Structure 1
Amino acid sequence: MTKARAPSKPAEPAAARSEEFARTHHRLVIHDYLPQSFHDGAAEASKCEWSSHIAVSLSPEESGALAWVLIDTMMQARFGPATSLYDTWRQYTLTGTKIPSPGRETIASFIEPVFGLPDKPKSQDHLHGHVGEWLWHLLTKDNAAVRIQPDPKGDVTDAGADGFSIYENPSGALRFRLWESKKNTGTRALSTSLNEAYKQIADSGQRYVAKIVGTFTPGSYDAEMLTFIAEVPAAWTQGDELVGAGVTLATHQPLPRKPFKKMNKKLPLLDKPGQLRGLATSISCYSELAKTVRRYAWSAL
């Protein structure tokens, strides 16, 4: 009797195929794959305003294209003004060929701090966390009110805040928000990850703010921005309305009905309207998506 063969696993899409899907279907930004699913926009005292982005049924083609949109954006940011290196990485990645030495070693130095290298990868936790930070950044940075929101940090082991935004409130006044990013790609309760984020902001927020403020050097920003940022450290100590906190959560799990309901209790000083903000992203294939992002980063090395 002939033993039946196990069904073969579908081939993972190559970077070129994913790029073509994104381009030909005109789905070139993250919102094309993760539209806002819910927004609780009531900015009340001692209440977290939050939104969610949910993708529960991405096809393999859509998941691959989203991974390509993510890695292409990440690599543009990582190479910065070294656009010729970005162009080389992109060309070889899309043709499915390897970058020859010594260019390979140069380009690998931009990839290693966040992804590691094929023979020495960063941990899965680092991978999932870095993808989560980029999801938050790309889902929020194009808000018309945002004045400054730097790209996620360039080394996943770098201590400090996960992100911050300086934005204008509805009256046009500048406000500062410190963001903490968490991923939950295991089986533990989402509330555990959120409570860790609240505690981290409560325990380390003042230190994070001090490090951020120190990066605002005269000559790099206008007088209005420098005057504002100089007020932020003392405002954070007092919970002044100039500052606020945000928590972003990336997971494969279904989201609870009210995922940020304990945030006001954990950060009691931030009790003015608009000071608390949450962003939840649920992607059912999150782990596979993150691995594809990394595979595309490495494919030309």
Structure 2
Amino acid sequence: MAVSLSNQEAGALAWVLIDTIMQARFGPAIPLYDAWRQHTLASTQIPTPTNATIGSFVEPVFGLPGAAKSETHLLGHVGEWLWHLLTRDNPAVRVQPDPKGDVTDAGGDGFTIYESSAGTLRFRLWESKKNTGKGSLLASLNKAYQQLADSGQRYVAKIVGSFAQVPNGASDELASFIAEVPGAWVQGDELVGAGVTLATHQVLPATPFASMASKLPLLNKPGQLRGLATSINGYDELAKTVRRYAWTAL
């Protein structure tokens, strides 16, 4: 998917991203989210000591004004949220947690539990990459394939060990299913699959994921592999605008 955004459209997208990200970061602390949002929209400063409390939710991903976190991590985090927002509302999706709250947390970048066309549950492990320079997109994708091949089993184990996001009324079904995933992954069973998402400003090739099957030969059955490439003009500036909105009221 390639889009060319005007400055106004890019600003609107950045606001949708940061508003969604911050709502997820505050979780049940709704009054804090409301305070952050109201002051951000009004371009007013959050008073002391609430600003320090709210800053503690912002800092792990974005850093704070004058002490920014790594831009590499910023660009990657925004890419993960783009993937999440583009895919989470698919009616087949049963479980797809928000992206990690700390950009330095080791492990897979995301996972989805969804229903196949036959109504059976399936698991997909996602790896996210960004490319905001002039380097080869293929090199970025190959790195993602290699991570899935080398570390996918470990990522799956971590997901299964901490699994908690189970919809009400489906706990037994999903718990039983997720327990099967580690064994299915090591065999490349059709129960599991992999996905790679790429965020960039570069022109996308006609078939960006053409080599994916050869790099992940265990997952070669129909429907096991997916790719999502998003090209947005000025992607790095979009990510910095997201961060600027996070800091507006601090």
Q: Establish whether TM, by shorter chain, passes 0.5.
A: yes
TM-score of Structure 1 vs Structure 2, range by shorter chain: over 0.9
- TM-score, normalised to structure 1, is 0.81
Residue in structure 1 matched with residue 26 of structure 2 by the alignment: 79
Which deviates further from its counterpart, 194-203 or 220-229?
220-229
**SS, match of residue 249 in structure 1:** strand
Residue in structure 1 matched with residue 232 of structure 2 by the alignment: 283
Q: Structure 2: how far apart are the matches of 1:280 and 1:216?
A: 28
Residues 92 and 114 of structure 2 are in contact (CA less than 8 Å); yes or no, is this contact kept in structure 1? yes
Report runs of 4+ in structure 1 exceeding 3 Å deviation.
217-221
Residue in structure 2 matched with residue 108 of structure 1 by the alignment: 55
Quick check: 1:298 aligned with 2:247?
Answer: yes
Residue in structure 2 matched with residue 54 of structure 1 by the alignment: 2
Find the structure with the greater CA-based Rg. 1
Match runs of 1:1-301 below 5 Å:
53-56=1-4, 58-216=5-163, 222-301=171-250
Q: Structure 2: how far apart are the matches of 1:222 and 1:77?
A: 22
**SS, match of residue 217 in structure 2:** coil
For these two proteins, the number of residue pairs brought into alignment is 248
Displacement of 1:222 = 1.0
Residues 60 and 102 of structure 2 are in contact (CA less than 8 Å); yes or no, is this contact kept in structure 1? yes
Q: Structure 2: how far apart are the matches of 1:254 and 1:230?
A: 41
**SS, match of residue 150 in structure 1:** coil
| Deviation per residue, 1:8-55 (Å, 9 max, x gap) | xxxxxxxxxxxxxxxxxxxxxxxxxxxxxxxxxxxxxxxxxxxxx221
Letter in 1 for 2:211: K
| Deviation per residue, 1:83-102 (Å, 9 max, x gap) | 10000000100111110111
Q: Structure 1: how far apart are the matches of 2:133 and 2:183?
A: 38
Letter in 2 for 1:252: H
Aligned-pair Cα RMSD in Å: 1.2
| Deviation per residue, 1:50-97 (Å, 9 max, x gap) | xxx2212x1111111111011001111110110100000001001111
Displacement of 1:218 = 10
Displacement of 1:214 = 0.7
Structure 1, unaligned stretches of length 5 or more? 1-52
Q: 1:108 to 1:206 in 2, by over 3 A?
A: same
Residues 129 and 183 of structure 1 are in contact (CA less than 8 Å); yes or no, is this contact kept in structure 2? yes
Q: Structure 1: how far apart are the matches of 2:108 and 2:60?
A: 17
Q: Structure 2: how far apart are the matches of 1:294 and 1:131?
A: 9
Displacement of 1:118 = 1.1
